[in-house]
Amino acid sequence: MTTEALTSAEYISHHLQNLTCGWGEGGFHCAHSAQEAKEMGFWAINVDTLGVSLVMGLLFLFLFSRVAKKATAGVPGGAQNFVEVMIEFIDNSVRGSFTGRNDMVAPLALTIFVWIFLMNLMDLVPIDYIPYAAQLMGISHFKLVPTTDPNATIGMAIGVFILVLFYSMKVKGIGGFIGELALHPFASFCLPVKFSLSPGNLLRILALIVLIPVNLILELVNLIAKPVSLALRLFGNMYAGEMIFILIALLPFYIQWTLSLPWAIFHILIITLQAFIFMTLTVVYLDMAHQKEH
């Protein structure tokens, strides 16, 4: 795609718009502008985000299952060696962050790390290649990096949040989970040692009634902050990285290569770090869901 046909603002807007399809005037179709995509409403689909996410997920499954089927006890090949290093790295990370007993956590952590890394890796593809190829096929917009779409990061964060709620209730029981929300951090010391109408117990019960709403507000904010922080941290960092690539693409050709190569090399660290942070926080949140000592 050339920048001569578009102004700088139009160029940036074009590269930041998803291929959104949904129901609108004239039936089901794909939007040609941000306003048209907005008018499609909540049930519109970002086809590029879903498509690239699915391809990266299938690529992860294909590569790891292929290596698993051909694994040997002898001298490993390059692919097997890489997969073994990845599994050992994730296993050590989980052992350091997760104190409970759940055989699902380590595979989940591996899936999250590799899948998010592969989606982030799409940010290193030159910014104009895929949109230009899409235009040749009659597709007006195509955004290659799924993690720069808040719908994708929020969707993954909600999936983690559902797991946190499920294991919190499974390990602690529904009553224990509700008690954790209602009695921490302030009200647990107000519980009467035994039921009686003594002045001391009445004061404890009164303090408990007063503090339970405060605890619920604090704990619910803390609970909701977990998926919000997961989603926005990943989205914000990847969106900022993509924006810098777009701004570099607007510069003269000889300056583009001077800036884009160092930024791409530095960005390798960013995409790896963001995948690791999302994975680590997921493990930490699941570990908190499995703790029932208090």
More confident residue, 199 or 53: 53
**Cα(41)–Cα(195) distance, rounded to whole angstroms?**
55
* pLDDT tens digits, 81-123: 889 899 999 999 999 999 888 999 999 999 999 999 999 999 9
Q: What is the pLDDT of residue 127?
A: 87
Cα-based torsion angle of the residue sequence 211, 216, 222, 224 in order, rounded to the nearest 10 degrees:
-170
Alpha helices in the chain (DSSP H): 8-16, 34-39, 47-69, 78-97, 105-121, 129-136, 150-183, 199-249, 253-290
Residue ranges per domain, the chain? Answer: 8-290
The DSSP bridge partners found for residue 27 are 24
- Cis amide bond preceding 185, omega within 30: yes
DSSP state of 191: S
Is a pLDDT exceeding 50 seen at residue 3? no
Tokens of 253: 């050709």
The answer to whether 71 and 43 have CB atoms below 8 angstroms apart is: no
| Distance between CA atoms of residues 211 and 187, nearest Å | 6
Average pLDDT over all residues of the chain: 87
Active site residues: 229, 233, 237
Residue 218 pLDDT class (50, 70, 90 cuts)? confident
Residues in the chain: 294
Percent of the chain clearing pLDDT 90 (strictly above): 49
Task: Give the integer Cα–Cα distance in Å for 52 and 70.
Answer: 27
